[in-house]
Amino acid sequence: MAQWLSHSNQKLYQARLLLEAFESAEQESAAAMLSALQESVLFQLVLAYQSYLHELAEIAQYREEFFSLSQLLEKVSVATGEMTELKQLESDNFSWLSKLQFAFQQCSEKDILASAKPQINPQMISLQDTTSHTLPLRDWYQALTAIIELQRNNRQES
């Protein structure tokens, strides 16, 4: 478990570094750089989450390969409370974890969506905000860090 614990911590640290770079570059950088940093933070957050799932798998004494919480829940003999809590967050479309995962999935679909945009009549006013592409990365980072720390602390107390 120590291997996955340190890996989770490393990914959270890398996410924080990229997040700080993203936040400091927001005022002066080009859109491409901001997009790259934003997606990098998102990627590190997802890697940290996946690494934490491996921590939980080792606690449940499951050491086989899996790629999602759903797969892990299907394969472990008994789901832990931590797994159940995360599953509830994943299932709730309005939770930070569900939104984080959705944003990560959208990264690979951005090019497809951009080319499928309908032509806009120049005489019509767009009612859609096309200037804001910033995700609540800081909130997601803090929420992921908080739940990992809370669950680790709860395990130590019991």
What are the tens digits of pLDDT across the range 127-139?
A: 443 334 679 999 9
Domain total in the chain = 1
**86 Ramachandran zone, left/alpha/beta (phi>0; psi -120 to 50):** alpha
Residue 65 phi, psi (nearest 5): -75, 140
Q: Is the pLDDT of residue 8 over 90?
A: yes
pLDDT value for 28? 74
Calculate ∠ Cα 42-10-36, nearest 5°. Answer: 30
- Establish if 11 belongs to a structural domain: yes
pLDDT band of residue 3 (cuts 50, 70, 90) is confident
Which string of b and e fits 58-81 if b means at least 16 CB within 10 Å? ebbeeeeebeebeebbeebeebbe
Task: Convert the pLDDT of each residue in 98-108 to its tens digit.
Answer: 999 999 999 87
CB 46 within 8 A of CB 12: no
In total, the chain counts a number of residues equal to 158
Residue 67 covered by a domain? yes
The per-residue pLDDT for 131 is 39
Least reliable range by pLDDT among 82-86, 91-95, 125-129 = 125-129
Q: Is the pLDDT of residue 146 over 90?
A: yes
- Residue 23: count of CB within 10 angstroms of its CB: 14
Axis crossing angle, helix 31-59 with helix 2-25, rounded to the nearest 10: 160
* 83 in a structural domain: yes
Residue 150 lies in a domain: yes
Q: Residue 38 in contact with residue 135, Cβ under 8 Å?
A: yes
Residue 110 has what pLDDT?
A: 59
| pLDDT in the model for residue 27 | 74
Residue 46 lies in a domain: yes
Angstrom distance (rounded) from CA 109 to CA 129 = 19
* pTM, to two decimals: 0.80
Query: Is 104 a member of any domain?
Result: no
pLDDT digits (tens, 9 = 90+) for 23-73: 888 877 788 888 899 999 999 999 999 999 999 999 999 999 999 999 999
Per-residue model confidence (pLDDT) at position 31:
84
Q: Is residue 47 part of a domain?
A: yes
**CA nearest neighbour of 145 among 44, 35, 73:** 44
pLDDT value of residue 128: 40
Residue 142 placed within a domain = yes
Residue 59 is part of which domain span? Answer: 2-95+136-157
Q: Say how many Å lie between the first and final Cα of the chain, rounded.
A: 17
| 65-76 residue pLDDT tens | 999 999 999 999
